[in-house]
């Protein structure tokens, strides 16, 4: 494992850790935000490319409005009205997204914390804590995120949280992928398959209405592989409101066990990524922002430059009792696993 200084935040040193397996695959992560900085992944011709969008400098991650590579904690995605009720008590959160809460807190969430790091045999363990009431959530919480690089070219992420009170927990990683190589252009020619027959429709603010609808006969149907750009601009209200794909899919075969939930192929189909998780949902985001920005390696990211597959409990779950529960506490520790594997 290679360790190098990335910079300082408020006088505290931040480090990069690079994992490498025997096949030459490399993953670089940071103690700031437990961020994924680079994923150096092979294709079927033995060519390697960095497929994770991101920045060169720590200062850029201090802003990171698009959450590149970020561990989102304690709660990923949106909570409607920026509040919820748990055990009879109403909790009010940061109002940071059209009157709602997005990704817990833009300035103080897990992606903006410096995590403690402990090197493991084939990975790196990041830990940090939040106090009862911090960011509006209950419980004194101890978070850990373990990154492991397997000999099967899998980046395995294990999330664990222990809380001394019932609380809402829904962690994810917000890595953006471009399997042609970051900065290589749009991901609309990537092929995607999702092992999901339903999704949670949302309003114009991306808050689910509580329904679960079948994908059959709609542009949301990726049960068979489709190019991402094939139907992304279809005359379909969900796509028009979101400016593309930015929705939660209800994953098949949810039992709490890890299973394959998605397959992504590069534009020439030479680089293939499989996604595995034990979670009930995944937010597929097609990078719909039209902002241009300077990125790492002298590249520029623009419209639909990367895709995110954020494994998760469904958006606004705390306000939707019909959705799988994201309440965890002393009697239900939080433990989930997600893996991005290049095959």
Residues of each annotated binding site: 77-78, 174-176, 246
User: 53: how many CB neighbours lie within 10 A of its CB?
Assistant: 27
Choice among 148, 274, 310, 339 that is catalytic: 310
Choice among 103, 105, 111, 174 that is catalytic: 174
The residues pairing with 265 across neighbouring beta strands, listed in sequence order, are 191, 272
Active site residue 174: yes
- On whether the CB atoms of residues 312 and 283 are closer than 8 A, the answer is yes
Written as six digits, the tokens of 193 are 């398959």
Annotated binding site for beta-D-galactose: 77-78, 174-176, 246
What is the C-alpha separation between 306 and 186, in angstroms, rounded?
7
* Residue in 39, 29, 176 with CA at minimum distance from that of residue 115: 29
What is the C-alpha separation between 263 and 339, in angstroms, rounded?
12
* Residue in 259, 256, 247 with CA at minimum distance from that of residue 285: 247
Active site residue 310: yes
* Residue in 213, 231, 210 with CA at minimum distance from that of residue 222: 231
Residue with tokens 């994953």: 251
Residues involved in catalysis: 174, 310
């Amino acid at each position: 494992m290679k360790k190098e200084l990335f910079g300082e935040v408020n006088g505290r040193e931040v480090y990069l850790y690079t994992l490498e397996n025997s096949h030459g695959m490399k993953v670089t992560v940071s103690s700031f935000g437990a961020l994924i900085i680079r994923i150096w992944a092979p294709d079927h011709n033995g060519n390697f490319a960095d497929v994770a969008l991101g920045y060169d400098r720590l200062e850029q991650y201090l802003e990171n409005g698009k959450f590149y590579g970020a561990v989102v904690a304690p709660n990923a995605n949106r909570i409607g009205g920026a509040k919820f009720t748990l055990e009879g008590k109403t909790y009010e959160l940061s109002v940071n997204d059209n009157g709602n809460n997005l990704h817990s807190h833009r300035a103080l969430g897990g992606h903006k914390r410096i995590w403690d790091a402990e090197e493991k045999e084939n990975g790196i363990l990041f830990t940090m804590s939040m106090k009862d009431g911090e960011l509006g959530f209950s419980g004194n919480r101890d978070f850990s995120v373990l990154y492991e690089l397997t000999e099967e070219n899998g980046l395995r992420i294990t999330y664990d949280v222990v809380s001394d009170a019932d609380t809402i927990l829904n962690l994810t990683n917000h890595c953006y992928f471009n399997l042609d190589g970051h900065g290589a252009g749009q991901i609309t020619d990537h092929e995607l398959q999702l092992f999901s027959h339903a999704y949670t429709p949302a309003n114009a603010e991306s808050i689910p209405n509580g329904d679960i609808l079948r994908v059959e006969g709609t542009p949301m149907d990726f049960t068979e592989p489709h190019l991402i750009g094939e139907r992304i601009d279809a005359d379909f209200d969900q796509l028009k409101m979101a400016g593309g794909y930015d929705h939660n899919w209800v994953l098949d075969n949810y039992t709490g066990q890890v299973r394959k939930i998605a397959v992504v192929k590069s534009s020439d189909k030479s680089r293939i990524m499989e996604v595995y998780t034990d979670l009930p949902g995944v937010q597929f985001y097609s990078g719909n922002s039209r902002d241009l920005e300077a990125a790492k390696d002298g590249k520029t990211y623009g419209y639909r430059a990367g895709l995110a597959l954020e494994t998760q409990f469904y958006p606004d779950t705390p306000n939707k009792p019909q959705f799988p529960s994201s309440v965890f506490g002393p009697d239900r520790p939080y433990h989930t696993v997600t893996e991005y594997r290049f095959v």
